[in-house]
């Protein structure tokens, strides 16, 4: 297992001084689903760069460096209430030496299409230190290594998360004689809390919960059907990953995409599905390619074929009308196209002034949501109406949270220092305490009135033994607890 920890001495420093410049903000990465009431729930990112210079003092010497402590938060918009708020935070924080510490989310889902049940993969990599942490809505966490996964899915019939390790990063099963067995996907049963507590890492995970190919997606209408790749070939499994069959050889070599994330878009119940290859270059736009995979019947069975939609275009987006599976909406830079034959033919239906960065088609309706860099549009009967505008660069987006929230510490695992962050919706008396797994108090970090907003505390565990600890926040009548792992 590869895990690198980097410790910084904090003996001689003063808080950094920051001089800010401005950069344009933009929207990107629109997603959506219909909740149990038929209300559309939308999710989008707002990227807010903060190109700045930062100065800090070490001894008698002052140092100045350029930094970009950006924010790339994920917002939730309830279309019935027409209200939005940050639901998952993605940002860069500064250390005392002006070191940028990213707290990034590459993968997130909502269990059973419930806004109250998010699951996210948080990645924090800086210097020689880093890890990725799987965090669920009920505050379970699990370390998976140094990089975000290729896939994060939910299988309803087993109430499990299906998590795929990075393409060339992690060997997730080792034998006592140090021989490695490559297992690319692992399952997290959400109803087995004891498993989360007992298994600190994936290298001692039971064989019964490991899959030997990289699962990219699960078919919506039959969640025993998995799509993935094995040895660069595209494969299908009809038994939840126990076995698999190759449908296209050398698929990933053909498209030269072994090092990027794929998002399968599944059409029930047709024999056509799509893979959207996402490469997210923050600050320089977002590029993606869309691959269509089709099954054709022949005299002695069937054969699968693949091709690329809008092959000569960049920055493509796609949304499927799940109430009409042959209907697709695609975008190419500023234009939106419609197809009613699985992408065989397309017609241009809309054009915007700014680049399109996301699409979502509401099923059983004539409503299409289009996200551009500057606006979120509701398109009804072909007429776009802007329902959300990006804040201008010199506007300060609100930083006062609407609830008390305790965040996962970073880095995690750590040695010997880590940062704990919590949010307060108003100034209130606050306690932040660290306990061992037997419930014994080992450190009191906060016992005072703290201001509204984001509060950050450094925890130094130099005198503690390696192991799992709990940290508990008490504020404004709310009590929240999370786990952290100290490795020496």
Q: What is the pTM of this model?
A: 0.77
User: Could you tell me which CATH class the domain 405-486 is placed in?
Assistant: mainly beta
The pair of structure tokens assigned to 4 is: 């690198």
pLDDT of 211 reads 87
The pair of structure tokens assigned to 439 is: 């419930």
pLDDT tens track for 424-472: 888 899 999 999 988 899 999 999 998 888 888 889 999 999 999 999 9
C-alpha 367/C-alpha 430 separation (Å) is: 46
Length of the chain equals 488
9-13, 34-38, 263-267, 281-285: range with highest mean pLDDT? 34-38
Secondary structure (3-state) at 77: strand
Examine the pLDDT at 251 and tell me if it is beyond 70: yes
Check if the beta carbon of residue 28 is closer than 8 Å to that of residue 356. Answer: no
Average predicted confidence (pLDDT) for the chain: 78
Question: Could you tell me what percent of the chain has a pLDDT over 70?
Answer: 75
pLDDT tens track for 356-375: 999 999 999 999 999 999 99
- Residue spans per domain, the chain: 149-309, 405-486
Secondary structure (3-state) at 116: coil
Question: Could you tell me what percent of the chain has a pLDDT over 90?
Answer: 28
| Residue 53 backbone phi and psi in degrees, to 5 | -115, 145
* Number of continuous H segments (helices) and E segments (strands) in the chain: 2, 39
The pair of structure tokens assigned to 57 is: 């003092």
């Amino acid at each position: 297992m590869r895990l690198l920890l980097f410790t910084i001495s904090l003996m001689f420093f003063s808080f950094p001084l920051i001089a800010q410049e401005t950069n344009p903000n933009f929207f990107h990465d629109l997603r959506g689903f219909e909740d149990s009431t038929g209300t559309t729930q939308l999710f989008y990112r707002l990227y807010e760069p903060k190109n700045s210079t930062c100065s800090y003092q070490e001894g008698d010497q002052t140092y100045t460096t350029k930094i970009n402590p950006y924010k790339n938060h994920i917002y939730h918009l309830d279309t019935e209430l027409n209200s939005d708020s940050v639901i998952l935070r993605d940002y860069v924080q500064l250390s005392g030496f002006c070191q940028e510490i990213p707290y990034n989310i590459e993968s997130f889902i909502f269990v059973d299409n419930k806004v109250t049940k998010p699951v996210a993969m948080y990645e924090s990599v800086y210097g020689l230190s880093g890890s990725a942490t799987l965090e669920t809505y009920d505050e379970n966490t699990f370390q998976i290594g140094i990089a975000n996964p290729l896939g994060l899915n939910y299988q309803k019939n087993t109430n499990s998360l299906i998590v795929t390790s990075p393409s060339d990063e992690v060997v997730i099963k080792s034998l006592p004689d140090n021989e490695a067995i490559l297992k690319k996907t692992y399952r997290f049963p959400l109803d087995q809390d004891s498993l989360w507590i007992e298994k600190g890492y994936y290298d001692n995970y039971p064989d019964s919960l490991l899959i030997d190919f990289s699962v990219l997606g699960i078919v919506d209408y039959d969640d025993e059907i998995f799509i993935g790749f094995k040895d660069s070939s595209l494969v299908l499994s009809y038994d939840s990953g126990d076995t698999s069959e190759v449908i296209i050889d050398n698929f990933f070599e053909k498209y030269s995409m072994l090092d990027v994330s794929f998002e399968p878009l599944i059409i029930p119940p047709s024999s056509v599905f799509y893979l959207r290859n996402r490469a997210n270059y923050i600050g320089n736009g977002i590029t993606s390619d869309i691959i269509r995979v089709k099954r054709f019947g022949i005299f002695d069975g069937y054969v699968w074929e693949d091709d690329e939609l809008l092959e000569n275009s960049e920055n493509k987006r796609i949304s499927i009308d799940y109430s009409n599976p042959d209907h697709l909406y695609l975008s190419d830079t500023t234009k939106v196209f419609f197809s009613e034959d699985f992408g065989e033919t397309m017609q241009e239906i809309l054009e915007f002034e700014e680049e399109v960065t996301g699409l979502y088609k509401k099923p059983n309706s004539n409503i299409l949501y289009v996200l551009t860099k500057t606006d979120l549009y509701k398109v009804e009967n072909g007429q776009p109406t802007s329902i959300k505008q990006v804040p201008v660069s010199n506007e300060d987006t609100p930083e006062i949270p609407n609830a008390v929230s305790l965040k996962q510490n970073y880095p995690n695992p750590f040695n010997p220092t880590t940062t704990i962050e919590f949010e307060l919706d108003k100034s209130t008396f606050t306690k932040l305490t660290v306990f061992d797994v037997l419930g014994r108090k080992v450190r009191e970090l906060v016992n005072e009135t703290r201001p509204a907003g984001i509060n950050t505390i450094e925890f130094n565990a130099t005198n503690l033994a390696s192991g799992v600890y709990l940290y508990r926040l008490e504020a404004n009548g709310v009590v929240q607890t999370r786990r952290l792992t100290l490795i020496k």
